Amino acid sequence: MSDPIRLAKRVAELAACSRSDAEHYIKNGWVQVDGRVVEDPAQPVSGEEVTLDEAARLEAVEPATILLHKPAGYDTISGRNPAAALVQPDTRWPEDPSGVRLLARHFHRLTPLVPLDADASGLMVLTQDGRVWRRLTEDGDEIEQEFVVEVGGELAPYGLRKLNHGLHYNGRPLPPCKVSWQNEVRLRFALKGVQGGQLRDMCAQVGLEVVSIRRLRIGRVSLAKMPAGTWRYLPVGERF
């Protein structure tokens, strides 16, 4: 058996390329060792079979942004039941249209963004990308979010008008938003700068009891038809 060498050196010899290019191939999941994808250029290999995918191409190692359909009962930013734990290779939405190749490194150091109440469900964002982080934190209050809220009870007089403009939360007047009936028991909210507990409180102020809350959209990015507990990648070029 030969002495172990770094995987990147073996790939450089195999593909007749530079060590730097070999590391790019490995980090982007194009290399298999004994039939298993390995993404660590420093992994030692000796007699194992090392193969480079015929479709391999040199490309930048891009950070991932993941869109999760958070079920009710999971925490977004902090808490004992983090929704981030649901993001696993086997929970990827089979119909993910992004075209992004699944890599092990996409599940490391994901930062959850845009809080969502634990008892609510819907679109949640986790990212490795500093550009996405800045967009959703520094400009977060300027990005419209859309929710569907199932309610019970009887709407107070002029209640819909008040929901659109005229309510207070935490002692401050709320800015105008867009609220309309989706059907007899569901309201659709489109608003900016939403705070924790705000939708439930707004409904209570006009005589309605909230049964469920689901976030459908953050900016231009929608939940799509993902089932609860599944996720997809944010495709290159799609912006909030």
Q: What is d(CA 5, CA 209) in angstroms, rounded to the nearest whole number? A: 65
Instruction: Check if the beta carbon of residue 34 is closer than 8 Å to that of residue 95.
Output: no
Residues of the chain with CATH 3.10.290.10: 5-52
User: Mind listing the pLDDT tens digit of every residue in the chain (240 residues)?
Assistant: 578 889 989 888 888 889 998 888 888 888 889 988 888 888 898 888 899 988 888 877 789 999 999 999 999 998 999 999 999 999 999 999 998 989 988 999 999 999 999 999 999 999 999 999 999 999 999 999 999 999 999 999 999 999 999 999 999 999 999 999 999 999 999 999 999 999 999 999 999 999 999 999 999 999 999 999 999 999 988 999
CA 85 to chain centre: 12
Other beta carbons within 10 angstroms of residue 227's beta carbon come to: 11
Is the domain defined by 65-140+221-233 classed in CATH 3.40.1190.20? no
Domain span(s) for CATH 3.30.70.580 in the chain: 65-140+221-233
- CATH 3.10.290.10, domain 5-52, yes or no: yes
Would you state the CATH architecture of domain 144-218?
Answer: 2-Layer Sandwich (3.30)
Prediction pTM value? 0.86
Domain with CATH 3.30.70.1560 in the chain: 144-218
Instruction: Give the count of beta carbons closer than 10 Å to the beta carbon of residue 180.
Output: 12
d(CA 162, CA 208): 12
Distance CA 129, CA 137 (A): 12
Q: List the end-to-end C-alpha distance of the chain, in Å, as a whole number.
A: 53
Full DSSP string of the chain: -PPPEEHHHHHHHHHT--HHHHHHHHHTT-EEETTEE---TT-EESSS-EEE-TT------PPPEEEEEEPTT-BSSSSSSBGGGG--GGGB-TT--S-PPP-GGGGSSPEEES---TT-EEEEEEES-HHHHHHHHHSGGGSEEEEEEEEEE-PPTTHHHHHHS--EETTEEPPP-EEEESSSSEEEEEEES--TTHHHHHHHHTTEEEEEEEEEEETTEE-TTPPTT-EEEPPTT---
